[in-house]
Structure 1
């Protein structure tokens, strides 16, 4: 089943996508409610043509954990971002993730407002698992982890994650495909789905989702370890290899080829069994300058509290 959130005649609604139509749920439940309580047995209205609605991000996640589950991506981006080679040995110990901003989620056909000062703009082709009740996987959607690589490179020298290089935008969509719909693609626990990325209609990357180092179930178990995962959480697969982002290609080619994204560029991610997700690149308003840092002066530092 494909479940969508959309705008139609001034209302935000959820519904079941069938062919070129969407059947709205009666009562307009939010997607989080559907995930928590189920969609089966819910009454729907008559179908509305998809061309008459505006698809939105399928849900507002409770949280977003983004993993890094593809060796090829780690190797290429590491070389591009900090000049290192190979894959860190720690990567093999557990499926590492970081938290990103659930409040800047975008949907299909939204413009992506990159930080105005960023000149190394990048997409990231991923699939996300949407978590259901009792630490189960409810379904899957396409996930674009937009990245300002120049900001990311500077920030990660502090060894605290990508921060402002990532948190300005994440795109989810075009809908959620329930887990049962993709069971036929399972191979040894992995989803054997072709994933591709194009910029302005030219394909720049293609890989199988089954090249992940861990299954989504393993990543979910790791996310829940000594912590809490709730229905409506989103787990990103991490970026696929073989051109799943530009930075991997930059690291492999030794130069920014293909070039970074620019205002007006159109990025389309396509995942077999799920669909396609398209966005256009834009720039946010220039940020106000920060107040300068106050540097510590060792000569004036106090080693003990003064009374």
Structure 2
């Protein structure tokens, strides 16, 4: 099944896509509530049993508002390219030891066809093509063998990045902050895990084609199966000594071969395409899931950030 959220008469309504129709859930029920109830498939069957409306008559929004977003960095080729672009180095040995992730902002979710504003102070805006797993059942200390039953499905994630802000703040040693704080696109729908099982290869990876284009020109393409770890391992690691809950999102990290501009900037033979500008349209397509299409617009112009004030380090009043 394919679960989605649509804007209808100014309100967000969740339901099931069964092309060419959109079948809404009962009034007031959203996708996160259904995930938490453990009745996702049953709710979907009830929805498709009722009359739907033409899919092209509604505007799709982000399929859900996740309580948390862990974004991994599971593609070696992406790490290679960005490391070359930023510091001229290679992949850190620690990358191979465990699937690293960071938490990003769950309040900054954009829909699959929304405009995305360039954040204040940013002049080097980038996209990042990813697939995300959505947790369906919560758990703690889940092993990879148990993880499949805890994944409800998959969606596309564009982890937008303000590269100039990110580069400056990561020198402090904490990781990305405002460089990743402003927008993450999810959509166009949540495709249940069973629909993508035919794409699973002999090693347990989902062999899905991924493609990103800017203003109609294809910039990058890759296979999701080039991840260093399958999603089951990412979920197991996320739950290691911690709890995962329904609706939590686990991003794959950016794919290789042009999954973002920063990776291309790290290649010795090129320094293009340029950073995104207002008016640019970014389109991402993942086999078996669908397409996102977001246009960049200018964001707010705010005063410069005030620098730290030098303090005398007195120890007594």
CA displacement at 1:286 relative to structure 2: 1.0
- Correspondence for 1:69: 74
1:251-290 to structure 2, matched below 5 A, reads 251-253=266-268, 256-290=271-305
- Correspondence for 2:165: 151
* 1:245-296: CA deviation from partner (whole Å, max 9, x where unpaired): 0100011146530111110000000000000001001121112223331124
Q: How many residues align?
A: 301
The answer to whether residue 12 in structure 2 is matched with residue 12 in structure 1 is yes
> Is there any run of 5+ residues in structure 1 with no aligned partner, and where?
none
Contact 1:116 1:283 in 2 (8 A): no
CA displacement at 1:51 relative to structure 2: 1.3
* 1:83-112: CA deviation from partner (whole Å, max 9, x where unpaired): 232100010110000000000100011111
Distance 1:116 1:291, change over 3 A: closer
- Correspondence for 1:301: 313
Which of 241, 259, 263 is residue 244 of structure 1 equivalent to? 259
Paired residue secondary structure (2:273): coil
Greater shift in the superposed pair: 86-95 or 284-293 = 284-293
Separation of aligned partners in 1, 2:247 and 2:14 = 15
Distance 1:49 1:225, change over 3 A: same
- Correspondence for 1:30: 30
Contact 1:192 1:209 in 2 (8 A): yes
Paired residue secondary structure (1:26): coil
1:80-229 to structure 2, matched below 5 A, reads 80-81=85-86, 83-135=87-139, 136-187=150-201, 188-229=203-244
> Is there any run of 5+ residues in structure 2 with no aligned partner, and where?
140-149
Greater shift in the superposed pair: 207-216 or 281-290 = 281-290
TM-score normalised per structure 1: 0.94
Q: Which stretches of structure 1, 4 residues or more, deviate above 6 A after TM superposition?
A: none
TM-score normalised per structure 2: 0.92
Separation of aligned partners in 2, 1:23 and 1:49 = 9
CA displacement at 1:39 relative to structure 2: 2.6
Greater shift in the superposed pair: 108-117 or 188-197 = 108-117
Contact 1:239 1:245 in 2 (8 A): yes
Paired residue secondary structure (2:41): coil
Greater shift in the superposed pair: 271-280 or 29-38 = 29-38
Q: CA RMSD in A?
A: 1.4
Greater shift in the superposed pair: 97-106 or 115-124 = 115-124
- Correspondence for 1:3: 3
Separation of aligned partners in 2, 1:65 and 1:40 = 25
CA displacement at 1:33 relative to structure 2: 1.3
Paired residue secondary structure (2:272): coil
Separation of aligned partners in 1, 2:279 and 2:268 = 25
Paired residue secondary structure (1:41): helix
Contact 2:138 2:243 in 1 (8 A): no
